[in-house]
Amino acid sequence: MSPLLSRVSPLALFASLSFSSAAVAADINVPADTTVSGQKTFGGADKITVGAGGKLTSSANPTLNQTSTSTGVAIDNFGTIESTGTGTRAIRFNSGTAMSFTLTNEAGATIQSQNDALQIGTAVKSGTITVNNYGLIQATGTGSNNGQAIDFGNVVAGTASITINNFATGALQTADADGIRPGNNATVNNYGQIISNNFQTNTGADAIDFQTSTGGTVNNYAGGIISGGRHGINISYDSTANTTSSSITITNYAGAQIIGRNGSGFGSDVGGTVINYGLISGDIDNIAGVANGDGDGVDIDYIGNITNYGTIRGTGAKGVGSDGKTNTSQGVAIGGGVIDNKAGATIIGQADGILVDNSSEGPAFGAVTITNAGTIEGTTRYGIYINSTLNNTLTNSGTITGGGGQAIVFGSGDDTLNIRTGSVINGTVDGGAGNDRISLSGTGTFAGALNFETLSVDDGVWTLTGTQSYSSGVTVASSAELVAAGAIGNLVTVAAGGRLSGSGALGALDLSGVVSPGSGAGAISTLSITGDAIFRSGSVYQIDANAAGAADKIVVGGTATLGGVVQVSAASGNYAPATTYSIVQATGGVSGSFASVSTDLAFLTPTLSYNANNAFLTLSRNGVFFQSVAANRNQRAVAAALDTTPTASPLFLAVVGKSAAGARAAFDGLSGEGVTGALNVGLESNRLFGGTLADAGQFWRSGETRDANGFSVSATPALGYASLESKKGPIAPRMTQEPARLWRLWISGFGQSARLGGDAAQGSATQRTSLGGGAIGLDAAVLPNLLLGFAGGYSAGGASTDLRSTHVDTHGWHIGGYGVFTFDPNYISASLTFSDFDNYSRRSVFGLGTGETANANFESRVLRARVEIGRDVDLLGLRATPFAAVETAHIWTDGFTETTAAFPGFAGLGALTFAARETDSLPLYFGARVKRSFALDNGWRLTPDLSLAYVHEFEPTRALLASFASAPSAAFAIAGARPDENYLQVKGGLRLDVSASVALFASFEGEYGGRTQSYAGRGGLKVVW
């Protein structure tokens, strides 16, 4: 190597190899943290890389200059590429009409100059161009030295594909010009910031300016901001470059913003498609020297398609537009097309929510279809203003507000306004000229409109308020209902299946459906008709009437032509023997007659009569007996008693004015059936108490205790049970010697929850009971094979019969005695128990309309005897005991009279007097028990047992005898829910002997029948001494 070469530094050598003269294109590489100065040229498929911290700089125009056709140039910048000259560019592509390149500006990197930071300077017609920006691309010049961050405006025709991706860390910005000019049919994907600024008097700085492109796409993703000194996004019109049908598509996602700071969020002199989930805003600045500004959210001069899920707003305007007319601010200004404002979305303008015209106060270029489920508001003028000679359609289920008093104004076309459920219109609605129509569908209220020729209620229920007029009339379709709450000055035609109600006024009526004055069942109202009324064959006139002599009425100013039928729905009440009502009054006279009349009242008969100007309805008392409408035995019992009461009595009159269904409800409400719950709770409380006595006898018979070697059945003097040889495992007790007499004290708790199903034929309703209590007993083996004992206890429970609005609480004391006699291997046990109960009943007397509650306090007593026989059998290591038992129980219920809760001590209209009553229960049991004992490692002994029995109840009826307190001679028997005649009883238990003298026990009992299921449990402690 020559000494000269040896003295050349490696960096200088690298630079000399990497860069040649400006006249020769080649790869360019600026190492990290290195500055390279001077203009560089490139072309073909050159690769240009600037490392992190590196800088490629010059004052030339441009610093990077394409001098030959680019077939695949790749620029990857991690540092800085800049031109520092006045009005110069950083990067310029300026050779050939076919061009392909990729430029990537990495995070933290910068491309900058006063004029365009990145420009295509020639008319490119084909190729693929991609820009990926993660850093900063900016043009810093102002005035005559200004430029764009990216200027591809020379790509105006052909098939060139342009994609500009500005990522979340990226910024494309200018000091005094459009932010970017993407070129014809370019796609811009923005996640970061694209911002342009106006300087001093500049009025044309748009963030994205498509200029006179024929199309393009902008996708602004969450977090993206597109903000222009004038428009956020703009496309212009030039007859030599594009057409009025040219259009760009903008999708603005949730969390993204498109803002025009002195113009439109999106301004188009041609067409456009906007899908917005975020914010699009047209604002006004306060820059001195900028006198004019038109802040529209979206301004599309020709035909557009807008779908809004977010917010589109115009916040203000100043000065005049290019046409010399005063600027006004709209949420949307459009020349025709489609606008769909979704639920939860908002379109709002400082002047108008939506303005449809030719952008210069003339008729729109195309018809418009607007669907609103969100909010549209014009703060100072119109919610929606349509200047059009075409046929336009507006469908509203949201809110439209005109701050100037007019919410919606149509033009001179044949327009349609569709009002749907949820519609709210604040301000007047003007149909303008033409043959205009309103359609109501769903449910809601409509306050009317001006200059519409027809209104149709197409489905649902709609209330019309205020004064409304439609020269071609109002129609009510089949399955639709019109509620006339105001004045309708024209003909209302109701189709078959349609319905007219309300208490307003109509111009005339042509009825093939249903008319029912008033706003609901039982509301007595008058419907007025200023002209003629025709009731066609098949029509229905539904009338509400009451016992006070008032009924619905139709007053006709002209003539009334009658036909169809009359249906009377009469309120409950004390009707006179005959009551007459005027139901049609016609000043011009009545012709024809109604075909028939019917009523839902079971005990009143309707008839019709007429004179020259009226149609009359008369309700007369008939001879139908209450029993004839009863549906089951309980209802017939109550109805038969009512049939014997005086016809002038308040109770009779309270029922006679009811429908058949209303009368049946009154029978149920008067029956007092739920009070029978006291019988069920009393009998079951006594039975469960008796069960604790039976358990005590079974414990004694088991004879189990503990010896020194483990568990046995020894008749030791210590325990007094029959002895067996000591052994572990299953045991079988046998008596072998006479024990000393020992006392046993036991304590037991018990509880139960039961469901007694109703009986449709009887008319009884389902009853649910619950109870709980406790018992304590003492017994002794007075002979080796005879145990005698006695016990006492207490319980509380309740019964609810929900369908009869009745609840009964029961509290009682129990006493009893029991005995067991064994004659190996047989036994016989017996018990006798007595219980005394205090009962408290509360029931709501429904069906009469009085709202009263009847209360009562009464006593009852139960006496029960039980006898059981059985035989112990050793079977497969188990102790099996087949048994049979019979119980007989008798409950005495005292007589009592209910009093009203409102006036304690006094009987209400629906109060009952219950006679003293005796009721029997006679169940027979056939079953078997099995058990087995196990020795535990800690010296305790566990004995599980299981019992299964078939039960037949010979006396299942639970009935009381009652009469009306207000009519004591009318008595009836009422039967409540009762146990099944045949059911299965399942018991399972555990006994744990923890010492020679102490044992714990618990058991479960279930009863399962066709209508009845009950679940009971017992548990306690036994002590021997």
876: domain CATH number? 2.40.128.130
Check residues 281 and 323 and name the one with the higher pLDDT.
281
Give CA–CA dist 408/383, Å, rounded. 6
Closest CA to 617 of 582, 570, 658, 565: 582
pLDDT at 1004 over 80: yes
In this predicted structure, what is the pLDDT of residue 877?
Answer: 84
| Residue 741: predicted pLDDT | 53
Any domain includes 970: yes
392 occurs within a structural domain: no
Query: Would you say residue 11 has pLDDT above 60?
Result: no
Q: Is 98 among the domain residues?
A: yes
633-643 helix and 660-671 helix, angle to the nearest 10 degrees: 90
Measured from the Cβ of residue 531, the count of other Cβ atoms closer than 10 Å reads: 16
Single-letter code of the amino acid located at 216: G
Contacting residues for 289 by C-beta, under 8 A, at least 6 apart? 200, 201
Which residue, among 356, 411, 362, has the nearest Cα to 378 in the 3D structure? Answer: 356
DSSP annotation of 626 reads: G
Average pLDDT over residues 126-131: 97
Examine residue 32 and state whether it is found in any structural domain, yes or no: yes
Q: What does the pLDDT read at residue 12?
A: 38
Region for 695 from its dihedrals, namely left if φ exceeds 0, alpha if ψ lies in -120 to 50, beta otherwise: alpha
The pLDDT score that the predictor gives to residue 736 is: 37
pLDDT value at 544 more than 70: yes
Which residue from 507, 472, 473, 457 is spatially nearest to 487, judged by alpha carbons? 507
Which band of pLDDT confidence, cut at 50, 70 and 90, is reported for residue 701? Answer: confident
Where is average pLDDT lowest: 8-12, 399-403, 500-504, 619-623? 8-12
Question: Is pLDDT at 833 greater than 60 in this prediction?
Answer: yes
> What's the pLDDT at 876?
86
Report d(CA 103, CA 94) in Å as an integer.
15
Which tokens hold the place of 843? 């029931």
Q: Which residue in 693, 698, 736, 699 sits closest to 717, CA to CA?
A: 736
CA dist 655 and 650 (Å) reads 9
What's residue 720's pLDDT? 33
**Omega before residue 577 within 30° of 0, cis:** no
Q: Which region holds residue 956: left if phi is over 0, alpha if psi is between -120 and 50, else beta?
A: alpha
In the predicted model, is pLDDT for residue 916 greater than 60? yes
Contact 711, 937 (CB under 8 A): no
pLDDT for 1022: 87
Which one has a higher pLDDT value, 1001 or 925? 925
Q: Give residue 153's identity as a one-letter amino acid code.
A: G
pLDDT at 962 over 70: yes
Write out pLDDT tens, residues 662-680. Answer: 999 999 999 999 999 999 9
- Residue 333 one-letter amino acid: A
Strand partners, 842: 807, 855
Domain end (from 95, 128, 147) = 147
State the pLDDT at residue 715.
Answer: 31
Instruction: Output DSSP code: residue 327.
Output: P
DSSP H stretches of helix in 648-777: 650-656, 660-671, 677-702
Confidence of residue 653 (pLDDT cuts 50, 70, 90): confident
- The pLDDT, as a whole number, for residue 288 is 67
Q: What is the C-alpha separation between 888 and 87, in angstroms, rounded?
A: 117
Specify the 3-state DSSP secondary structure of 153: coil
Q: What percent of the chain has pLDDT over 90?
A: 82
Residue 834 lies in a domain: yes
Interval 112-138 mean pLDDT: 97
Does residue 774 lie in a domain region? yes
Alpha-carbon gap, residue 261 to 284, rounded angstroms: 6
| Domains in the chain, number | 2
What digits encode the pLDDT tens for the residues 349-379?
Answer: 999 999 999 998 999 999 999 999 999 999 9
> How confident is the model at residue 421, as a pLDDT?
98
For residue range 218-239, what is the model confidence (pLDDT) as tens digits? 999 999 999 999 999 999 999 8
Q: Are 509 and 485 in contact (CB under 8 A)?
A: no
Phi, psi of 686 (to 5 degrees): -65, -40
The 10s digit of each residue's pLDDT in 249-283 is: 999 999 999 999 999 999 999 999 999 999 999 99
**Residue 966 belongs to a domain:** yes
HSE (CB half, 13 Å, CA atoms) of 960?
Answer: 27
Look at residue 578 and tell me if it is in a domain.
Answer: no
- The per-residue pLDDT for 703 is 63
What per-residue confidence (pLDDT) applies to 371? Answer: 99
In this predicted structure, what is the pLDDT of residue 154? 94
Give the tens place of pLDDT for each residue, 835-859: 999 999 999 999 988 889 999 999 9
Q: What is the DSSP string of 544-558?
A: EE-TTS-B-EEEESS
Q: How far is CA 455 from the centre of its chain?
A: 32
pLDDT at 707 over 90: no
Q: Which pLDDT value is given to residue 16?
A: 36
Span 443-454, average pLDDT? 96
Confidence of residue 8 (pLDDT cuts 50, 70, 90): very low
Burial class (CB in 10 A: 0-12, 13-18, 19+), 652: buried
pLDDT at 706 over 50: no
Vertex 822: Cα angle to 697 and 711 (nearest 5)? 65
In the predicted model, what is the mean pLDDT of residues 979-1006? 93
Q: Band the pLDDT of 911: cuts 50, 70, 90.
A: very high
pLDDT at 290 (0 to 100): 80
Among candidate residues 116, 147, 178, the one where a domain is terminated: 147
Tell me which residue range forms the domain holding 1018. Answer: 750-1024
pLDDT at 25: 54
pLDDT score for 905: 80
Of 113, 147, 181, the residue at which a domain comes to its end is 147
